[in-house]
Amino acid sequence: MIAPKFVPVVVKQLWRHRVRSVLTLSGVAIAMFLFIAVQTLQEGVRRSTQTAAGDTRLVVYRENRFCPAASRLPQFYVDRIEKIPGVVSAVPVKIVVNNCRASLDVVTFRGVPREELVGPRGWATKWQLIAGSVAEWEKRSDSALVGETLAARRGFQVGQSFDASGITVTVAGIIRSPEAQDQNVAYVHLDFLQQAAGKGGGLGSVTQFTVRVDDPAKMEQVAEAIDAEFRTEADPTMTSPEKAFVAQAGADIVEIVKFTQWLGWGCLAAVLALVANAIVLSVQDRIKEHAVLQTLGFRSGLIARLIVSEGMLIGALGGAIGTGIALSVVHFGNFSLSQEGLSIGVSASWSVLVWGLIISAGVGIVAGLVPGWRAGRREIASCFRAV
């Protein structure tokens, strides 16, 4: 765009009007903070709801139910599910959540059989134990392995007891998992949860089955086979890929996040307006100065590019500040939206950071285009006559 030797000129222009530059930078930073926050929400939804090619997990739920309190399936279904061709494993899971509604602060208990968690190919093999141990979890019937996000949000420590949904558990360990759903739940023993949940079905009743298939390409086929197996039973099932299930059960959250897209676009428009405003004001102050530069030999194209570079620099700097703050807040805030016992994590990634910087710089360039073009087209004589 411009030769490196002109970069100090651009920086000096911004430094000359420090107050204006700081105000513009602050406004851009705030707008980009909101834009990036919206983007992290969008990314969380995408990660939680879009089935990837390698996904092999199905969720078997009670037909026409999404609330864990309303879905009750007989635990003996697991034997029949495991016999269906294509099924590698089926794990009965009991879910108790303190509130089914969409919110930022929900406590979800997931009761799973001991052998599914601690076995040689158990779920715990994929987790990283940040504190405590699985052995501690095995020792007590009322122990819980708590996801990192939930533990950070509620300030749980190993050895601490807490109560939610009328169930009291003791934290045996804090886990970090690559699966978004695991980060915001407390894993307990299945039989403990079945009994502690009281009238919620009791022993022999579970909320769902988590099924793993051998071939991702056959997920739909296996899902149909499972539903066909129980179609005529008293408790028919509805089987879908885990992420598709999250998309439907968490439809309220998905809609809210979709709506925030408009907020994101509004923020970009605000960045454009702020930077354009600052550039226009700056150019107006320097009409004569530009005329002098042209008299000295600066081409009109170069002057236009200098102005556009100013816009890009303000956009990039403000974007960097706003993006950095947003990603820090998201990283340390451990936010997640929950509904029906399912979580959609709000997470930061490097790609969001890079895109944030590129977009803010790009918007800055766009904002400087018209003022730069107009400044470049002015005649020298008319510029000198300007007041």
Partner 1 sequence: MVVLLILVAGGFVNGMSRALRTTGGEHNVILMGAGSEESVERSEIEAGVPGVLAASVAGVRTRAGVAYVSPEVHVMLPVRVGAAASTTTQSSGVQAAAAQGSSTSSMPRPKGRQVMMRGVTTAAALVHESVSLTEGRWPESGAEEVMVGRMAATVLGVAEIDLQVGKAVMIDGRPWEVVGRFSAPGTVVEAEVWLPLADLMTATKRETISCVVLTLDPYNEETGEGAEFGDIAAFAKTRPDLELVPMTEREYYGKLADFFGPIKIVAWVTAGLIAVGGLFGGLNTMYAAFASRIRELGTLQSIGYRRLAIVWSMIQESTLATAAGGLIACAVGVFMLDGLAVRFSMGAFGLMIDETVIGLGLLTGLALGVVGALPPAIRCLRPTIPVALKAV
Site residues, partner 1 (CB under 8 A):
19-20, 23-24, 26-27, 30-31, 33-34, 63-67, 69-70, 72, 96-105, 165-167, 198-200, 231, 234-235, 248, 251-252, 255-256, 263, 266-267, 270, 273-274, 277-278, 281, 284-285, 339-340
CA distance 192 to 204: 12
Smallest separation, CB 226 to partner 1 (Å): 15
Smallest separation, CB 280 to partner 1 (Å): 9
Q: Which is nearer to partner 1, 40 or 339 (CB)?
A: 339
Which phi and psi angles does 273 have, rounded to 5°?
Answer: -65, -45
Q: How many CB atoms lie within 10 A of CB 230?
A: 21
Smallest separation, CB 52 to partner 1 (Å): 21
Q: Which is nearer to partner 1, 31 or 59 (CB)?
A: 31
Smallest separation, CB 345 to partner 1 (Å): 15
Smallest separation, CB 89 to partner 1 (Å): 27
List helix spans (H) across the chain.
7-16, 18-49, 77-82, 114-118, 134-139, 148-154, 190-196, 219-229, 242-249, 251-285, 287-296, 300-333, 350-377, 380-385
Smallest separation, CB 370 to partner 1 (Å): 17
DSSP symbol at 57: E
The first and second tokens of residue 280, run together, are 């226009």
What residues are paired with 185 via a beta bridge?
Answer: 108
Q: Which is nearer to partner 1, 177 or 194 (CB)?
A: 194
Q: Are 351 and 186 in contact (CB under 8 A)?
A: no
Q: How many CB atoms lie within 10 A of CB 295?
A: 11
Q: Which is nearer to partner 1, 283 or 293 (CB)?
A: 283
Query: Cβ neighbours of residue 62 under 8 Å, at least 6 residues apart?
Result: 70, 71, 72, 73, 207, 208, 235, 236, 237, 238
Q: Which is nearer to partner 1, 286 or 305 (CB)?
A: 286
Q: Which is nearer to partner 1, 160 or 284 (CB)?
A: 284
Quote the Cα angle for 14-17-21, to 5°.
60
What residues are paired with 337 via a beta bridge?
Answer: 344
Smallest separation, CB 297 to partner 1 (Å): 25
